[in-house]
Amino acid sequence: MDRSKLVLLIHTVKHLKFKQVYYQVFYKVRNKFFKRDYAKKLEKEIEPLKWNDSFFYPNSFTKKKRFIFLNLSHQFTDKIDWNYANFGKLWTYNLNYFDFLNQEEISVSEGLELIKDYLKNGENLKDGKEPYPISLRGINWIKFLSKNNISDADIDQVLYNHYQALIHNLEYHLLGNHLLENGYSLLFGAFYFKDEVLYKIAKQILTEELSEQILSDGAHFELSPMYHQILLHRLLDCINLVKNNPWKEDRLMVFLEEKVTVMLSWLQGVTYRNGNIPMVNDSTYDIAPSSDQLFVYGSYLGLQWGEIKVSESGYRMFRKDRYELFVDVGQIGPKYQPGHAHSDTFNFELYVKDKPVIVDLGISTYEKNQLRLEERQTASHNTVKIGSHEQSKVWDGFRVAKRASVISLKEDKYKIEATHNGYNELGLLHTRKFFPETSAITITDVISKETEQEQVAFFHFHPDIKEVEISTAQVYLPNENIGIKFDNNLLNIETENYEYALGFNKKKIAIKIKVYFKTTLSTTISI
């Protein structure tokens, strides 16, 4: 291993919890030298649960064995290859989740046929045997079997064995949303099989992980609005499950409702008036249920929530009559699992009259490639880059080594000001101030001292912004009647095309500007 790779690894591993390191080693040793059989005889007949869908999943399966995930479709001409890997691991994962069982356009017979085909290929499964797809598939099978009142001993036996595999391979080596998904699924398994062991483990995971992973302002601690929606949906499902299938009399339900209401409040606080969420960190379109769907689901379950001050997550939303300004002044998080974090400190998005104007470009891939790296780097966000240095060193798909830390934060109802140390290796600090007024926003950038390193502020426009006019110190968007004026030590303004993510594997060309300055820059956006 070369020295630079070793330094990256050290700066990454030093943030891990002991539990993660222990289970990384434990699982590798055990799985290599001690093969385990998870077959366990299911001794009782299973009755389906009471289940009604609140909404359907998007259509990902059509007749003739055609599947579409991540905007990539494939039709199997003969038998279904449940290990199909030509589109990458995430596509294979989606094939093994079985979300399509709970889409609107699928018949009961089609769903059963797909499950039974999967059972026939059980010995050959690869990615589908991993704990994350086991978790999601378990929930989807239980929903489908229950709402269609299906009792099938063969399916139940395999499902039960999948849960035996899950409890012995819980994702303690990863933690974060993966372990939380394990817990959600175990709760479904516990209620479906009336299994005390599954319930005990599920309750422990959900109690511990929701207490840690849901911040005081209601945000999920991985700070991706998309993952927040996904995990909120699953929590709503758990409440739906427990409410409609009385089996346990304890305080778990009260705890789950406390967490779900604060998550709903946070989501309401960061969702734009047009229903979109900010595309910050690992977020993209058409993966998670929409905010409106989740709000309707919450109301259907009789939940009530209100406004909450968005704070600990580091996100802020300023709403005016003409615009909405979303600002990130938070830390890279969580420290021990920043796999979905980007190098984007002091990033922001701007919607004007309910339409996106300045945007985060989002993500279009989870493959460990150059595109994934670029979409996470500083220059892909609406913030400042100095020289060739990154605020935070993102690498290898889902890792972060050196991280920017917000060392100062001041705010009142008129402004917010923060400083980060992501350029500490250059002896520099970056301070950014936002002043949101009725019809204008002023953003002030200050570098702590003069440097010969190039300083660039990036502004990414939504693909709907077709015309960008540049003069000496101003940018004008004629179709939107929005002016952006730069003062102080402006050096130059350049335009450049970039690829905006409309979803996984789906991009569109858009325009960004690069504003070169020296030490200080004042940006006024007139709306």
Q: 366 pLDDT exceeds 90?
A: yes
Percent helix, strand, coil in the chain (nearest 5)? 35, 25, 40
Give the pair of three-digit tokens for residue 19. 């539990």
Q: What's the gap between Cα 346 and its chain centre?
A: 19
- Residue 488, pLDDT above cutoff 90: no
Structure tokens at 52: 């009604």
Q: Domains plus CATH for the chain?
A: 315-526 (2.70.98.70)
Residue 227 and residue 270 in contact, taking contact as beta carbons nearer than 8 Å: no
What is the chain's mean pLDDT, rounded? 96
Q: How many CB atoms lie within 10 A of CB 500?
A: 24
| Mean pLDDT (whole number) for 175-190 | 98
The 3-state secondary structure of 279-326, one letter per residue:
CCCCCCCCCCCCHHHHHHHHHHCCCCCCCCCCCCCCEEEEECCCEEEE
Q: For 262, list phi and psi in degrees, rounded to 5.
A: -70, -30
Q: At what angle do helices 131-147 and 225-244 cross, to 10 degrees?
A: 40
- Report pLDDT for 10: 87
Structure tokens at 416: 């917010």
pLDDT tens per residue, range 306-355? 988 889 999 999 999 999 999 999 999 899 999 999 999 999 999 999 99
Tell me what percent of the residues of the chain surpass a pLDDT of 70: 100
pTM of the predicted structure, to 2 decimals = 0.97
Token code pair at residue 193: 């099989």
Q: Do 249 and 199 form a contact (C-beta atoms < 8 A)?
A: no
| Cβ atoms < 10 Å from Cβ of 88 | 17
Neighbours of 459 (CB within 10 A): 23
Split at pLDDT 50, 70, 90, the class of 68 is very high
Q: Would you say residue 63 has pLDDT above 90?
A: no
pLDDT level of residue 1 (50, 70, 90 thresholds): low
Structure letter (DSSP) for residue 336: T
Buried b (16+ CB within 10 A) or exposed e, 125-143: eebbebbbbbbbbbbbbbb
pLDDT tens-digit map of 406-416: 999 999 989 99
